Structure 1
């Protein structure tokens, strides 16, 4: 058994297959992938990694399994999946995922080949575990997959409290102990919002079980929603973090265009590998310098959801690139001095979590009046960004308003008041 002192969960005890997985290269690589990517440029202490997060997810999964009475080979599979759930992440976590998915067809939870080969595959087979079954759990598939990746997953429970701790932001605090204690797998039958279909569980056809929060825990589920909603604007989508992420995405595109680096190779880099590659490439050296010295692009446009035309909301990457080029031409600046950042449509996956109310299984969105309010808040927090070097922001902002069809009088080019701290003025 291995005992690790953790900032969030105190002591974490690791044994069995998880203890053997910890020292594999795939898991150790996560020491060099920051959990929050570029958020450290806003909150200097946010330097925690995917490695310590993986330990936390394993810990919460183990606690949940103890409560649920799941043991033996089934528990081994779930604990292995918890330890391995992030090995598919590329550099700077989710930041480059849209790019690598576009070119490889794989998201970070598509880990079949990573688990089937090398040291990880050897460890799993030594413990008589099928790597493909573990990969399906990582992807949230099957009966027990939602415990690792779902609306009430231990991944979400750990990253919210861990991110809040390391940023110093008080909004992500949830009662993880209560969460794992109140989880249950139930057979909904016809007694709930949707009937269960037959699925294959451990090789045999059985009625699907659903992961739910037990009776009397609507507020527990709401706390997860609220924590995520409050953390979003002040941490995950803070404008400085978004600008720096967009700059690194631009650097990744230019790196792939200018060198023999493939998207598959990029996907397996860690943060240090990626930054070194940017520094060593002539086409990305200036952008790398800007990131290293925190000489970031500035806001030229920061537009609300309702002010952005539908054609821009619906634009794919090729259309966004064409719009960037058009904005640059109209502003009279170099093409690489304009970055258009259109976030995906607002979603709230947690709202479909199941809770037990008066003996019935119901979706949280049906039961909680908070869901509607938080969806409205999420839409109100959404912003389209256009970024450019400081001397060109006014010209680029006017050009972007014209090209994108935005009302220039409604544009915001400065952000204040998101948090009661001078960090928001960065």
Structure 2
């Protein structure tokens, strides 16, 4: 197959040759051109319209460079690059926003593996001399090379942290990707950072911390995505329907939502017009007991329904938002003269960043502006269990 060069604003020229061109040209990969990388972030940062397609190309590009740095064999390098290119092919519309369909068994990583093993993608891989099963294993983060694509520090994160900062227009893209590529090593199947690359690893954590606080968990973005996920759950009332929606791109899903009736249509109209719910309650997660956090994580919809009913708010118009807690990057292993250590053990900065991240996580409740008066008598202690420290602060 003919070689191609793709011009990318992050990495410059990205070369595609051989069967990689064929993989990119499959319908399943082309679908990613219409799947936004960051869900509804564009409602806050207007330029955040980048897609899973260019991110996949970026990860593929970095995989090639990392393969050279650590001296992978030609076959391992090809397999690693193929997995990097295909790792997000199973994402539903609006990317992680659609992960709410996990309640019906949808998992974008599992879907990516299924596509690699069962679709036209599988045929292209075989024609290129690559075993689809090896690619699927890498996408799952398994095998001796799995950590290069899915771990505390991997080519996936190296691309999206810089790419997302660029499109958000924020000055947080400080990750020293080139230095990271030089510092990453494989140790008994695990990905580690050499001690000389500690500053580069710290730059990744700084970037990650700032991006989560100001972009990924921006309060307006959280409100919009809570509205969207509630509408999706109303639209997909069965497992079969959920998986039918998963095969759509953003355009197809929005068309279906706009043509729906009742609640789904109302929420979609509000999102289209950026007429969003308002924040009526916010509390730091660290103020809640472990038992209360577990309850919110596992049964937030039930708690939400109880609060709405107690305050006379119509179902679906009071939204309880308990964020998914992702802290794996703070478990990066650093290779020191005394052996492998967690980055927090050798970096005061990394430890403080992790503490800052935990301190800023909040549970929120949103409602329509016209329903805010109904929530004035809301007593959070009736629904959440607070730590003794937080109760003492109120006294």
| Alignment coverage as a number of residue pairs | 384
Answer yes or no: is the 8 Å Cα contact 2:313–2:371 preserved in 1: yes
Counterpart residue number, 2:249: 270
The answer on 1:21 being equivalent to 2:1 is no
Answer yes or no: is the 8 Å Cα contact 2:147–2:189 preserved in 1: no
Answer yes or no: is the 8 Å Cα contact 1:304–1:382 preserved in 2: yes
The answer on 1:121 being equivalent to 2:122 is yes
TM-score after normalising by structure 1: 0.85
Answer yes or no: is the 8 Å Cα contact 2:231–2:267 preserved in 1: yes
Which of 382, 387, 390 is the matching residue for 2:366? 387
Structure 1 62/109 Cα, relative in aligned 2: closer, same or farther at 3 Å?
farther
Counterpart residue number, 2:33: 31
Range 108-117 or range 223-232, more displaced: 108-117
Map of 1:360-379 to 2, 5 A cutoff? Answer: 360-379=339-358
> Could you tell me how far apart the structure 1 residues matched to 2:160 and 2:40 are?
16
* SS in structure 2 at match of 1:37: coil
Q: Deviations over 1:151-188 (max 9, x none)?
A: 120100000110110011112321111111222223xx
The answer on 1:396 being equivalent to 2:383 is no
The answer on 1:170 being equivalent to 2:149 is no
Map of 1:242-253 to 2, 5 A cutoff? Answer: 242-253=222-233
Answer yes or no: is the 8 Å Cα contact 2:101–2:233 preserved in 1: no
1:105 shift after superposition: 5.3
Q: Deviations over 1:119-151 (max 9, x none)?
A: 201101112222121011011111111111111
Counterpart residue number, 2:393: none
Instruction: Structure 1 unaligned segments of length 5 or more: list them.
Output: 187-207, 411-426
Counterpart residue number, 1:139: 140
Which of 44, 47, 50 is the matching residue for 1:45? 47
* SS in structure 2 at match of 1:87: coil
Map of 1:224-373 to 2, 5 A cutoff? Answer: 224-257=204-237, 262-283=241-262, 284-315=264-295, 319-344=299-324, 346-358=325-337, 360-373=339-352
Answer yes or no: is the 8 Å Cα contact 1:298–1:387 preserved in 2: yes
> Could you tell me how far apart the structure 1 residues matched to 2:283 and 2:266 are?
28
Answer yes or no: is the 8 Å Cα contact 2:304–2:318 preserved in 1: yes
TM-score after normalising by structure 2: 0.91
Range 27-36 or range 123-132, more displaced: 123-132
Counterpart residue number, 2:9: 7
* SS in structure 1 at match of 2:377: helix
Structure 1 177/318 Cα, relative in aligned 2: closer, same or farther at 3 Å?
closer
> Could you tell me how far apart the structure 2 residues matched to 1:372 and 1:65 are?
30
Range 42-51 or range 328-337, more displaced: 328-337
